Chain A
Amino acid sequence: MLWYKSWLETRSRFLVGLAVVLLSVAGAVFAYPQVVKLLPLVPTIEVGGELGRRIKEGAELMRDYRGYVWSQWLRQSMTNMLSLFAVLLGTGGLLSQASGGGGALFTLSLPVSRNQLFGVRTATGLAELAALAFVPPLLLPLLSPSVGHTYLFGDALVHGACLFVAATVLFSMACLLSTVFSDVWRPALIVCGLASVLGICEPFFGDLSRYSLFGIMNGEMYFRGGGLPWLGLIASAALSMAMLYAATRNIARQDF
């Protein structure tokens, strides 16, 4: 029944997130025909520097369906949305419930270990995150034919995996901070803040952007033909596990 309780607690966030990412993938696919029509209208401005290079590259990529999906959807809206919901799913653990209204003392009086409580809650969050990360890409092979293009199932699977593993870093960070701060907002704001800073700096990494967290998340290396970003994926997974472990240690020592 602990699983049911975790589900009830995260249900709204998950369902809203699911609706958002599903709408965004559908929106991206069905907008493509319009985009194609508008492409010739993109003026060739010479904007200098890194930003200029990016804008130009973006326009180039859009000519190809796969490029469009990657540069407009995966790299932008999907990454942003998934990051946000990864953080939201990671907050709201036992500690915040203790500050009122969450029945924390009742939970703690049950014959379950704290590891179990944390484990169930975390596993539920990760399962929901996986759904948010995998379902939208997997819809691409199904929806693309309706606009006259194809999208490879293999590509969808790889991108889903990259999205999920990288997003767990943000999820775990939110989980860990939730064992330090007793309110729901601070962990969320801190992680979102860090992610935003990273996101803002990213265009200036140049070629190295594929190694940043968001680079892993949107699978840039794979998209550009460099194969799966194994190192990045392993590092992300290791970092997530380390943070979750630290969170369990915090919970074990916490006085309520």
Chain B
Amino acid sequence: MADAFVIETTDLRKLYDDVEAVRGLSLQVPRGSIFGFLGRNGAGKTTTIKVLLGMARPTSGQARVFGLAADAPQASVDIRRRTGFVSDEKDLYDYMTVEEMIRFTSPLFPRWRADLEQRYLRKFELPPDRKVKALSRGMRTKLALLLALCRGAELLVLDEPTSGLDPAMTEEVLQALVTHVASEEMTVFFSSHQIAEVDQIADRIAIIDRGRAVVNGALDDLRENYRRIEFVFDGDAPEPAFRAPGVERVQRKGRVLTVLSSAGAGRILDEARALNPVSVDVVPVTLKEIFLETVVAAED
């Protein structure tokens, strides 16, 4: 089962009552990558994750994990045996203690790692006798993470892993993830609307907006290819129709023409030269800007 893609969706659609939460999502998560799934609240991130884990069934389209169909009940059980999951709410069983949660979860996973269990109990400073309902949000997140990391899983699916955490704890969680990925063969798929953390640890990303992927690819490629080009003209800026590929957004404001390109600046500069700009400015674009541009642009 040496599939290149641990997760693959093809034109996935999910309709909840009359709301289409996911509207034709296609993405591929390669083995060994840390994949960041960015989007605004309500864009369809959690729904996608639920489909992948068999908690909801697709209306149409396909979702495969480890090459298995996510909506086939028996296959889904197999998928979940090999996957660690942390939900958005991080809700566990309020009435159980930390120790009981571990005793409850570990027998279900034949590849449970007792060594990691000890390590993370110490590192996260989780009190074994405390009930889940008495844990702070940060502690609950760490417990949920422990339960996910110790399963001996090949894939980690995390829904907003650092939401509600202060910066110090966020860094702790990210560091635990990075350390884990560095020492185990693992793929991580995490959804977030914290751009900074995606910037920090993801190597591939997808930006989902209103149920569709508007950006998809290796983060380094995006950093190298997205450019903002600003032209200043003598008179009012023209409105050229660029034939070059990758023109995402063109804005005119008085004598200034701004172009957002996803395919480098070269060809756009070639085309614009004929218009005789007075000055040209080419700057790299941060992930935050890419996000805001592609997600806000879609609203126009």
Asked if A113 contacts B104 (CB within 8 A), the reply is no
Asked if A109 contacts B87 (CB within 8 A), the reply is yes
Residues of B within 8 A of A104 (CB): 91
Asked if B53 contacts A108 (CB within 8 A), the reply is yes
List residues of B (82-108) whose CB comes within 8 Å of A's CBs: 83, 85, 87, 89, 91-96, 103-105, 107-108
Asked if A110 contacts B108 (CB within 8 A), the reply is yes
The contact of A109 among B56, B73, B80, B96, by CB within 8 Å, is B80
Residue A111, interface by CB 8 Å? yes
Asked if A101 contacts B94 (CB within 8 A), the reply is yes
Asked if B94 contacts A4 (CB within 8 A), the reply is no
Residue B114, interface by CB 8 Å? no
Residues of B within 8 A of A100 (CB): 89, 91
Residue A8, interface by CB 8 Å? yes
Residue B78, interface by CB 8 Å? yes
Q: How far is the CA of A101 from the CA of B77 in the complex (A)?
A: 23
Residue A147, interface by CB 8 Å? no
Q: How far is the CA of A155 from the CA of B50 in the complex (A)?
A: 53
Residue B134, interface by CB 8 Å? no
Q: How far is the CA of A5 from the CA of B87 in the complex (A)?
A: 20
Residues of A within 8 A of B73 (CB): 113-114, 252
Asked if A111 contacts B55 (CB within 8 A), the reply is no
List residues of A (1-47) whose CB comes within 8 Å of B's CBs: 1, 4-5, 8-9
Q: Please, what's the 1-or-0 string for A85-123, where 1 marks a CB less than 8 Å from any CB in chain B?
A: 000000000000000111111101111111000000000
Residues of B within 8 A of A108 (CB): 53-55
Residues of B within 8 A of A112 (CB): 77, 108
Q: How far is the CA of A4 from the CA of B101 in the complex (A)?
A: 11
Residue B242, interface by CB 8 Å? no
Known A112-B108, A114-B73: A256·B50 in contact at CB below 8 Å:
yes
Q: How far is the CA of A105 from the CA of B107 in the complex (A)?
A: 18
Q: Please, what's the 1-or-0 string for A56-77, where 1 marks a CB less than 8 Å from any CB in chain B?
A: 0000000000000000000000
Asked if A255 contacts B108 (CB within 8 A), the reply is no
Asked if B53 contacts A109 (CB within 8 A), the reply is yes
Known A113-B77, A114-B73: A255·B57 in contact at CB below 8 Å:
yes
Closest to B16 in A: A255
Closest to A8 in B: B95
- Rounded to whole Å, the gap between the CB of B79 and the closest CB of chain A is 8
Asked if B107 contacts A109 (CB within 8 A), the reply is no
- Report which B residues bind A (CB closer than 8 A): 16, 50, 53-57, 73-74, 77-78, 80-81, 83, 85, 87, 89, 91-96, 103-105, 107-109, 144
- Report which A residues bind B (CB closer than 8 A): 1, 4-5, 8-9, 100-106, 108-114, 252-253, 255-256
A-B contact pairs, 22 of them (CB 8 A): A1-B105, A1-B108, A9-B95, A103-B91, A105-B55, A106-B85, A106-B91, A106-B92, A106-B93, A106-B144, A108-B53, A108-B55, A109-B53, A109-B83, A110-B108, A111-B77, A111-B108, A113-B73, A113-B77, A255-B55, A255-B56, A256-B56
Q: A106-B91, A110-B108 are known contacts; what are 11 more A-B pairs with Cβ within 8 Å? A: A1-B104, A9-B95, A100-B91, A102-B91, A103-B91, A105-B85, A108-B55, A109-B55, A111-B77, A252-B73, A255-B16
